[in-house]
Amino acid sequence: MLARLTAGFFVALTAIGPVTAAKADMISEEILSGGAPRGRAPGAFGSFFGGGYYSSSPIARTTVSYPINEAPGTIIINTAERRLYLVEGGGQALRYGIGVGRIGFTWAGVTRVSAKKEWPSWTPPAQMLRRRPDLPRFMRGGPENPLGARAMYLGSTLFRIHGSNEPETIGQAVSSGCFRLTNEDVVDLYSRVRVGAKVIVRR
């Protein structure tokens, strides 16, 4: 039953500018290390091997007034607020707390959800393995996988909307451009979002 409560998101970017190999490398490394909160250095695998895999978010998921001229099912990410909104129609949206990119790694643009996968496996890119030969060459999907319980892949880039078992990072700017939710929240979001849904990222 628990195995069915995880999955992956990848979303295609359309208006955010080029992603360099070096930047993509850093994005992948951030996923593995977990992205340490301020004042705490990440370990080799962050705290992905610890407890709290389905901890509740410190920012409660809630329905809010959100008048906007976008179709229901659209995802709006407000980086400055560190919130993700799923438009429900009728002037309302479901709001989630998220972790966002740290200074120098934020971006904005319009994209689409291109795929949804459950328990995605992870293969470090070659440029990361050259710098971090200690890393595993492959990780199967599961509770120890750094992609979390769900992950939205962002097209052909390495940006994602993904889960995390580090609830203390929600509401903080700690990633290299990915958007993270608690695993509990990303499971909920995954169940509501279709492939092809519009995604708007605002700084």
Q: What is the SS3 assignment for 26?
A: helix
Phi, psi of 143 (to 5 degrees): -55, -25
Which residue, among 8, 9, 15, 190, has the nearest Cα to 111 in the 3D structure? Answer: 15
- pTM, 2 dp: 0.71
Helical H runs in the chain?
21-33, 126-131, 183-192
The single residue listed with the structure tokens 């995802």 is 75
Give the residue numbers annotated as catalytic, written as ranges: 162, 178
Are the CB atoms for 189 and 86 separated by under 8 Å? Answer: yes
Q: Smallest Cα–Cα separation from 180: which of 152, 157, 141?
A: 152
Give the gyration radius of the chain's Cα atoms. Answer: 16
Buried b or exposed e, range 28-43, using 16+ CB within 10 angstroms: bbbbbbbbbeeeeebe
The domains of the chain, with CATH numbers, are 2-35+49-202 (2.40.440.10)
In whole angstroms, what is the distance from residue 34 CA to residue 165 CA? 9
pLDDT by position in tens, the chain (length 203): 333 333 333 333 333 443 333 333 344 444 444 433 333 333 333 333 334 566 788 899 999 999 999 999 999 999 999 999 999 989 999 999 999 988 888 888 888 988 888 877 777 767 668 878 998 899 888 877 777 888 888 777 677 899 887 888 999 998 877 889 999 999 999 999 999 999 999 98
